[in-house]
């Protein structure tokens, strides 16, 4: 019998009907409603990041995260985390240069997306732009592809990436 679901509920324990009443520590201490003690949740870490729908020759760039870690193996728009109080456009330019060896032209911020993970709260600045000529040199991504927009929508994308794509489509 599941006593926690029937007799020993946190809000209204029925100690008089419980077969374990004599050996119950909560009953012995006189306050069975105080158990279990719930630990307060820690505040999620706030983060700021950027992403861009980067086009070249009628295709857009998709990058895949490494298999381990947060959102491992998922495809997304290129970008990265902002450093301190770094301006989003400047952070995007830095991230594209450092992580992909690319430069972007005609960058336009189309808005922001907020997303909460269990331990992080992310504010993502989303851009649209065009990639300059040059070869992609990945640093921190597992793979990349230049794809058509419909193909991009068909890749395994996280909910966050889908929110960013929806914002770019609306903008």
Structure tokens at 44: 């999620």
Q: Both 88 and 27 in a single domain?
A: no
In the chain, what's the furthest Cα-to-Cα distance?
78
Q: Both 16 and 79 in a single domain?
A: no
Look at residue 126 and tell me if it is in a domain.
yes
Quick one: average pLDDT of 148-169?
92
Q: For the beta carbon of residue 94, count every other beta carbon within 10 angstroms.
A: 15
Look at residue 39 and tell me if it is in a domain.
no
Q: Both 84 and 134 in a single domain?
A: yes
Q: Both 29 and 84 in a single domain?
A: no
Q: How far apart are CA 140 and CA 99, in angstroms?
A: 6
The 3-state DSSP class for residue 163 equals helix
Whole-model pTM: value is 0.76
Q: Both 17 and 90 in a single domain?
A: no
Look at residue 40 and tell me if it is in a domain.
no
Q: How far apart are CA 124 and CA 127, in angstroms?
A: 10
Residue with the larger pLDDT of the pair 61 and 22: 61
Q: How far apart are CA 124 and CA 57, in angstroms?
A: 26
Query: Has residue 1 got a pLDDT over 60?
Result: no
Domain residues for the domain of 30 are 3-34
Judge whether 104 and 78 are in contact, CB under 8 Å.
no
Quick one: average pLDDT of 123-133?
95
């Amino acid at each position: 019998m599941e006593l926690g679901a029937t007799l020993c509920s946190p809000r209204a324990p029925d100690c008089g009907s419980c077969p374990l009443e004599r050996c119950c520590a909560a009953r012995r201490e006189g306050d069975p409603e105080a158990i279990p003690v719930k630990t307060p949740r820690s505040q999620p870490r706030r983060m700021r990041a950027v992403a861009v729908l980067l086009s070249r020759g009628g295709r857009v760039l998709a990058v895949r995260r490494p298999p381990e870690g947060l959102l491992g193996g998922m495809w997304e728009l290129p970008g990265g985390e902002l450093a301190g109080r770094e301006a989003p456009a400047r952070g995007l330019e830095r991230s594209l240069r450092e992580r992909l060896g690319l430069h972007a032209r005609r960058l336009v911020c189309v808005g922001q997306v907020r997303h909460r993970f269990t331990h992080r709260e992310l504010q993502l600045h989303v851009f649209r732009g065009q990639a300059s000529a040059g070869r992609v040199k990945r640093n921190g991504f597992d793979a990349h592809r230049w794809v058509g927009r419909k193909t991009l929508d068909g890749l395994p994308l996280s909910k966050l990436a889908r929110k960013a794509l929806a914002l770019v489509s609306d903008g």
